[in-house]
Amino acid sequence: MHTNDKRPELSRLEYRLLNDFQRDFPLTSRPFLAIAEELGTDEETILKTLEGLVERKMISRLGPVFRPRRLGASTLAALAVPEDQLETVAAMVSAYPAVNHNYEREHLFNLWFVVTAASEEEIEKVLNDIRDRSRCRLLNLPMEDAYHIDLGFPLWC
C-alpha cells in the first residue's frame, strides 16, 4: 500500500471476511464455524477478527437485511441539521438501537437515516424523540414501493 493511501490496512483474513461474505452468509446454527472452515481457521479467530473490525469501526453491525414489511416496519428519514451541530446530532441519532445507519448528504436535509421497529407507532416515537432532542426539522419518507438494490460491493485488494 502507498504511504499516502488513506485506505485502512486489512489482514488477508479481514479482507476475506469483509469481501467474501456480503452475500450467501451461511444459514446454519454456527455460521462462524462454517466460515472458519471455509477460510482454514477456527471459529474463535473469526469471532475475534470480527470484534476487532467493529472496534476499529470498519463495520458497525453484522446481521441480516430483511425484505421491507416482512418483519416490523421501517422508514427513511432526514434531518436539517446546522453544519456546526452535524457530528453531535449524527452521534445522537446513531445511538438509537432502532437506527440502522446514517449518512450526510449535500442538501438542506443533510443527515439521512433508516429507522426500523416492530410497528409504525414505535417508529413515530423514535422520530418524535429524535426531532425533539435535535431541535431540527425532520422529514419522514416511508417506502411506498419496494425495489431490490444489491448493496454488496467488491473491496479493493
What's 134's domain CATH number?
A: 3.30.70.3460
pLDDT single digits (tens) 37-46: 999 999 999 9
131 lies in the same domain as 87: yes
Q: Judge whether 101 counts as a catalytic residue.
A: yes
Q: Domain tally for the chain?
A: 2
DSSP letters, 96-135, are STTEEEEEE-SSSS-EEEEEEESSHHHHHHHHHHHHHHHT
Range of the domain at 46: 12-55
pLDDT of the residue at 128: 98
pLDDT of the residue at 94: 93
Q: Please tell me the pTM assigned to this model.
A: 0.59
Adjacent-strand bridge partners of 74 = 116
Q: What residues of the chain score a pLDDT lower than 70? A: 1-7, 65-70, 147-151, 156-157
51 lies in the same domain as 77: no
* Catalytic option among 2, 101, 107, 148: 101
